[in-house]
Amino acid sequence: MKLKLIIPAGLLLLGGLSACSSDPAAPATQPAGNQQQAADAPAQTSGQPSEEADDKEEPLTGETKEKAEKAALAKFPGTVKKSEHDVENPGLYAVEIEQDAGGEIEVYLDKDFTVVKTKKEDGTEDGD
């Protein structure tokens, strides 16, 4: 004669739940609501320039700094105030100069140290 084991469905369900929740070493799972909140959260950085872009522009150093400043000063004599990798114009170097003739100008150079445009302190831009 064969024995049949009959296990009530409620016990199976409770057994499954207790196995998942009673093991302290089991990895914690995040409730579905929190997963949706995480998916809806805005990205930390958008890749777009912000008002804080000046703080994030990396200063030029070494030979790159020397060449960029020399090229900018050759066209616009004066005193270099700062030189950096430009965030608003990726791939360009920016050299800010207080001109001997008066006023300030920001000179933008490409990777070959060719002046490609300028921006005067009043915000007007010139393509070169």
- Give per-residue burial for 19-38: e unless 16+ CB within 10 Å, then b: eeeeeeeeeeeeeeeeeeee
pTM of the model: 0.56
| Helical (H) or strand (E) element with 83 | strand 78-85
Q: Which residues pair with 104 in a beta bridge?
A: 98
pLDDT tens track for 78-110: 999 999 999 999 999 999 999 998 999 999 999
3-state DSSP assignment of residue 103: coil
The arithmetic mean of pLDDT across residues 65-88, rounded, is 97
Q: Residue 3 — very low, low, confident or very high, per pLDDT cuts 50/70/90?
A: low
pLDDT of res. 100: 92
